[in-house]
């Protein structure tokens, strides 16, 4: 595996940090999930599904870092680690004596990644921040949904997950850089920065035009018809940007009046006259089922997709063949489905070597590898320094 031999100490909770650790574990790193004796505070969330989905390929160590013996265990882990991953509000972990400067003294080659809501600097750095905070403060929420309707959050914790991907990308890059320079480094990654970056073309467009993004529901200002429509049975997304696709669409659905209408002759014209165009297209699409339209649109090369619920997406033959959703057996939950790693690598394929650990499942194993004697481990368990 690409990261085999790399040891990661993962103190993160919620989603962004744990996903970063999981991605490193997927690539072969030995990731040790460090939790308090009571466990990651997200473990009860969503029937336990939250923690299950972002903590595979990790070992679990439960330790009380407020006790001197607990700190000693952490310091011993850090001595052998390549990566230290934490997601505390800035200032919190420093009070535990585990800030970057503290950790770097123990292990100068450490790659230290701090995930937070607002970053390690700036007026808001000491604020707590969840995914939805970043959506609200980046302009993303104000650009999402239908004009005039209440603001909505994106249905998935997209900013959390993208932050996790960026963190893993930064850590992997820092590992590569260390091979060249023999130096570790500090990585500051936060939800708001990532959310701002995801507004990409909207930010550039604002700088050119001075205009904020409109709220266009499932549509976009780059073309029309380019949005979700209703059909006889289910909704369908249709994305027509080229005049060639528009012509084929009208010819196959016998929409000759629309094809000949000068208001809709080009993509630019169709975008400018969207209020007139969309009701006419929608009226025609009510006559067809989603499957009928999919067959026509796919044959024309027009981007399109049925709008599916999670239960329907899991039954998609394409999703099943791609093996992007896998099933594992958990004693507590029975058979559980969750997303596989989406990377498909020819020489180093990603494998699920370990399921999400129970709280402290590998505490004894981790301490034994650090050189602790069995009697000492038993004492630590009795004193409730670790959970074993």
Distance set, CA 2 to CA 26, 60, 327 (Å): 10, 22, 25
Token couple for 211: 């205009």
Integer Cα distance of 264 and 296 in angstroms: 21
Query: 177: which residues sit within 8 A by CB, 6+ positions away?
Result: 183, 185
Neighbours of 249 (CB within 10 A): 22
Q: Is the peptide bond before 261 cis (omega within 30 degrees of 0)?
A: no
Q: Which residue has the tokens 């007026």?
A: 123
Cβ-contact 79, 73 below 8 angstroms: no
User: Of 61, 16, 11, 15, which Cα lies nearest the Cα of 42?
Assistant: 15
Burial 302-321 (b: 16+ CB within 10 A, else e): bebebeeeeeeeeeeeeeee
Give strand pairing partners of 32. Answer: 9, 59
Question: What is the rounded radius of gyration, in angstroms, for the C-alpha atoms of the chain?
Answer: 26
User: Of 362, 322, 382, which Cα lies nearest the Cα of 59?
Assistant: 362
Q: Which residue has the tokens 């669409």?
A: 249
Burial of 328 (0-12, 13-18, 19+ CB in 10 A): middle
Long-range contacts, 226-230 (Cβ 8 Å, 24+) = 227/278, 228/307, 229/281, 229/282, 229/285, 230/282, 230/285, 230/286
Token couple for 169: 């990308």
3-state secondary structure of 114: strand
Annotated catalytic residue within 40, 160, 193, 355: 160
Cβ-contact 94, 104 below 8 angstroms: no
Residue 233 falls in the annotated catalytic set? no
Catalytic residues: 160
């Amino acid at each position: 595996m690409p990261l085999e031999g790399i040891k990661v100490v993962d103190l993160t909770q919620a989603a962004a940090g744990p996903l970063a650790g999981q991605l490193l574990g997927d690539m072969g790193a030995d990731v040790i999930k460090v939790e308090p004796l009571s466990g990651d505070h997200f473990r009860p969330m969503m029937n336990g599904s939250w923690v299950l989905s972002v903590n595979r390929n990790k070992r679990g160590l439960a330790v009380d870092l407020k006790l001197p013996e607990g700190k000693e265990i952490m310091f011993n882990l850090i001595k052998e680690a390549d990566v230290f991953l934490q997601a505390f509000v800035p200032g919190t972990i420093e009070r535990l004596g585990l800030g970057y400067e503290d950790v770097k003294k123990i292990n100068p080659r450490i790659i230290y990644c701090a995930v937070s809501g607002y970053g390690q600097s700036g007026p808001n750095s000491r604020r707590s921040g969840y995914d939805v905070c970043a959506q609200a403060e980046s302009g993303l929420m104000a650009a999402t949904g239908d004009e005039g309707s209440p603001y909505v959050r994106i249905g998935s914790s997209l900013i959390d997950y993208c932050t996790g991907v960026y963190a893993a990308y930064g850590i992997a890059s820092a590992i590569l850089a260390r091979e060249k320079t023999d130096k570790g480094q500090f990585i500051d990654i936060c939800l708001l920065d990532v959310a701002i970056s995801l507004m990409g073309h909207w930010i550039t467009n604002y700088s050119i035009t001075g205009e904020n993004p409109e709220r266009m529901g499932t549509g976009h200002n780059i073309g029309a018809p380019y949005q979700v429509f209703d059909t006889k049975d289910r909704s369908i997304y249709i994305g027509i940007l080229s005049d060639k696709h528009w012509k084929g669409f009208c010819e196959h659905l016998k929409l000759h009046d629309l094809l000949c209408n000068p208001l809709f002759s080009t993509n630019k014209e169709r975008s400018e006259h969207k209020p007139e165009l969309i009701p006419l297209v929608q009226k025609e699409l009510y006559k067809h089922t989603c499957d009928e339209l999919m067959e026509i649109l796919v044959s024309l090369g027009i981007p399109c997709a049925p709008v599916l619920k999670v239960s329907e997406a899991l039954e998609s033959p394409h999703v099943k063949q791609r093996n992007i959703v896998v099933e594992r057996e958990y004693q507590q939950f029975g058979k559980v489905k969750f997303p596989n790693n989406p990377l498909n690598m020819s020489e180093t394929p990603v494998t699920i070597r370990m399921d999400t650990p129970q709280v402290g499942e590998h505490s004894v194993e981790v301490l034994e590898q650090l050189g602790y004697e069995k009697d000492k481990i038993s004492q630590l368990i009795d004193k409730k320094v670790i959970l074993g």
